[in-house]
Amino acid sequence: MTQIRKLLTATAAFATVTTAAVFAQGAYAQNATQGATQAGEAPTMAPSGAPGAGPAQMTGHAPSQAPAAAGIAQPAPAPQALTAPQSADPLVQKRDANAAANAEYRSAKKSANAEYSDAKKQAKSQYKAQVKDAKINHKADRQANDSEMKDQMNGMSAQQQGSQSQ
């Protein structure tokens, strides 16, 4: 584990330093080109035999970079997939297999819990809809029974009034 961590850390540090150096060279070359263009001179490369003239002290473009138009950014290099070499140690292989199995179990458990919660929410919403419909039906039935009873009471009172008038 520590060897893999050291390898990844060293690789990331090297990539960071290399990327910073490339960007610094690009920025230096762009500044030198802009300064020479503003002064009316053409950008030139310093002679390679001149003392102190290294690749970072060029006044033109870096040899690996194509000239870019002003305002257009250079595309970033493609990211590299870093993988550690497989160990022949059976304990390391068992640990890696256990880690993979645990990750698979956790993902399966998470998806099962998500499905369960979705099913539970759906069942709860269906239950609430059924309860609401039942309340509406109960209210309508009660109103119908009340109106029917009132009609019967009015009918009886009409019959009583009719029998009293005779």
Residue 59 near residue 32 (C-beta atoms within 8 A) = yes
How far is residue 127's CA from residue 132's CA, in Å, rounded to a whole number?
9
pLDDT of residue 53: 47
Which parts of the chain have pLDDT scores under 70? 1, 13, 15, 17-18, 20-71, 73, 82, 84, 158, 161-166
pLDDT of residue 97: 95
H helix or E strand, kind and range, residue 49: none
Residue/partner pairs of 82-88 with CB below 8 Å, 24 or more apart: 82/8, 82/11, 84/3, 84/4, 84/7, 84/8
pLDDT tens digits, residue range 122-136?
999 999 999 999 999
Q: What angle do CA 35, 37, 43 make, to 5 degrees?
A: 90
pLDDT of residue 65: 53
Neighbouring residues of 1: CB distance < 8 A, sequence distance ≥ 6: none
Q: What is the mean pLDDT of the chain?
A: 75
Residue 84 near residue 4 (C-beta atoms within 8 A) = yes
Q: How many CB atoms lie within 10 A of CB 29?
A: 21
Alpha-carbon Rg for the chain in angstroms: 42
Q: Where are the domains of the chain?
A: 1-65, 89-166
Q: What angle do CA 114, 119, 121 make, to 5 degrees?
A: 95
Neighbouring residues of 55: CB distance < 8 A, sequence distance ≥ 6: 25, 62, 63
